[in-house]
Chain A
């Protein structure tokens, strides 16, 4: 009897202290996570630089100057007036780059997200059901991996007479950037399917759908994140390739389109280094960031990859 009243406030107190601690704990845990996974932190930081450039830039730089003929004379080297110079058509490079960055990121995120959804579904179904379904889906994945996607995309894009839109390009690219995700998720589901907690859930009569969403999905999250960044990289690469060939959404400013125009106007031969150099710097920061983050995510998902030293 005496235990009851004393136990009541005690449990209440612990409840309070845990809820307070969980706020602090979350921050500590996040700090610990980023400290332990330096590669994710560094990668994320580099990507955020590019994101901030594209999304905060408009607050500091007048995007009107990205219009053709807005800064004359054209083809100026960087100066106090135009920090990154101007192109051969009188666009301010800095304004143009800021204008172009968000749409380049958007294509990648849309295509990467769609790609990972397709890939995860294919990998999931293949791994979970096995048998002939697995053989069938794996064959399709192997075939898709052997096809140079860029070339088929080129055929597709060249046949469209009414030009490309950003969304259509993202959709088409997604059709060629799901295979990596499918392979990773399939392998994981195959190994998880046999684990005991799944077995227990199955034996206690849980439905397949329940097992999928409540037992498997949470464990797959790190792999899904890593796969998303992987297909994001592939998607931005494909978009840049298409745009460099002049097959992108040409009426919109993207970083790849800037590269197309510098090639069109022979900026390299004419020594206009600021024209081709500045988008390349952004690409290097972006790709390096994404790539380092994806290595970090892979190690987080699969700690055995981490160096033992």
Chain B
């Protein structure tokens, strides 16, 4: 692989993370009236009632971020802490650290993100391809307007609808949580069943909505491909219908599809977080919602930093894999 390509992509990855880190630093430091300190003081005042001890956090906060020092010193301290993987304590769940909470929530989000992405991609691409395929059933072709609606509406609105009908009205599936309350997760069949049952509704909400996006992208690409000369040739050679469809048409348009997915990854992640909130699903989104409710600024920033990092890393890896699987993309494209 062309080293210049890798270097450029890596630079973009580092720059993306650096921009977010810096923007968040500036936002928190330049916000009027230092909300973090105000929150810490409010918690301290409250501590008498709850029995919690917030004093150490405020002290640690002042000390760690050198709040009395000039801005550039604060910035360096902040960066050093980040590089050490230290995002501070959760202000409302002391002594749990932000990293503790996020690593507990992350597997839930990543799990559901992976499963929904793969399924929506497969299903959406197939539907989109069939819609564009001139010789498929009219009924299939008629689903195009449905795709347009599902592609346009945010994930979590579907979540609400599914939650009501399947969870509340017909009571088929659980409406909340990752597993039944009180259930102990272990390596057994029962756990798998619990996880599947609870993930089914949030996952379906995401799949329904993103199937539309994949389907429309696939359809547009297939329409272009249908006019290519090699398609005409395949037809003229008398190849089987199915072979033309699967090998000549689909294979050639599947790869460009991943590009459009990479472009929308950031907004897909944002949508997924909102779905988690609807279903009280114990991932990053719920963590974020609770942190917002409690004004736990360290947690909000931690979630933002780590999610941005994860998305940027995923895009970087995709950029590296992409030229390997699609030889049409040259490494040295300027």
Contact = CB atoms under 8 A, between A and B. Distances in A.
> Bound pair: A and B?
yes
Interface of A: 139, 142-143, 145-152, 154-156, 158-161, 233-234, 237, 240-241, 244-247, 259, 263, 268-269, 271, 273, 276-277, 280, 283-284, 287-288, 290-292, 295, 305, 307-309
Of A155, A234, A295, most B-chain CB atoms within 10 Å: A155
Interface of B is mostly: helix
B274 interface: yes
Given A152-B20, A276-B164, 17 more contacts: A139-B12, A145-B266, A146-B266, A147-B312, A148-B267, A148-B308, A149-B266, A152-B304, A244-B156, A244-B274, A246-B292, A269-B175, A271-B169, A283-B153, A284-B149, A287-B153, A309-B134
A240 B308 contact: no
Contacts of A305: 220
Given A146-B16, A233-B152, A160 B31 contact: yes
Of A159, A240, A292, A309, most B-chain CB atoms within 10 Å: A159
B289 A245 contact: yes
Interface of A is mostly: helix
Contacts, number: 146
Interface of B: 12, 15-16, 19-20, 23-24, 27-28, 31-33, 35, 38, 134, 148-149, 151-154, 156-157, 160-161, 163-164, 167-169, 175, 216, 220, 223, 227, 263, 265-267, 269-271, 273-274, 277-278, 288-289, 292-293, 295, 297, 300-301, 303-304, 307-308, 311-312, 315
A284 B168 contact: no
A155 B266 contact: no
A143 B15 contact: yes
Contact of B304 (A155, A233, A287): A155
23 contacts: A143-B19, A147-B308, A147-B312, A148-B266, A148-B269, A148-B270, A148-B304, A151-B273, A154-B304, A158-B300, A159-B28, A160-B31, A233-B152, A234-B267, A244-B277, A247-B292, A268-B167, A271-B169, A277-B161, A287-B149, A288-B152, A295-B216, A307-B223
Nearest to A237: B154
Contacts of B168: 268-269, 271
B156 A158 contact: no
Contacts of A145: 263, 266
Contact of A152 (B24, B38, B167): B24
A139 B334 CA distance: 12
Contact of A240 (B15, B154, B160, B300): B154
A267 to B, nearest CB: 9
A184 to B, nearest CB: 12
Contact of B157 (A142, A148, A280, A291): A280
B154 A276 contact: no
B322 to A, nearest CB: 15
A237 B154 CA distance: 7
Contact of A148 (B295, B300, B311): B311
A139 B8 CA distance: 10
B34 to A, nearest CB: 10
Contact of A159 (B31, B154, B160, B312): B31
B304 A151 contact: yes
Of B15, B164, B216, B295, most A-chain CB atoms within 10 Å: B164
A233 to B, nearest CB: 7
A145 B28 CA distance: 22
Given A143-B16, A152-B23, A161 B164 contact: no
Contacts of A263: 277-278
Contacts of A151: 270, 273, 288, 303-304, 307-308
Contacts of A158: 292, 295, 297, 300
B163 to A, nearest CB: 5
A4 B270 CA distance: 73
Of A151, A245, A276, A290, most B-chain CB atoms within 10 Å: A151
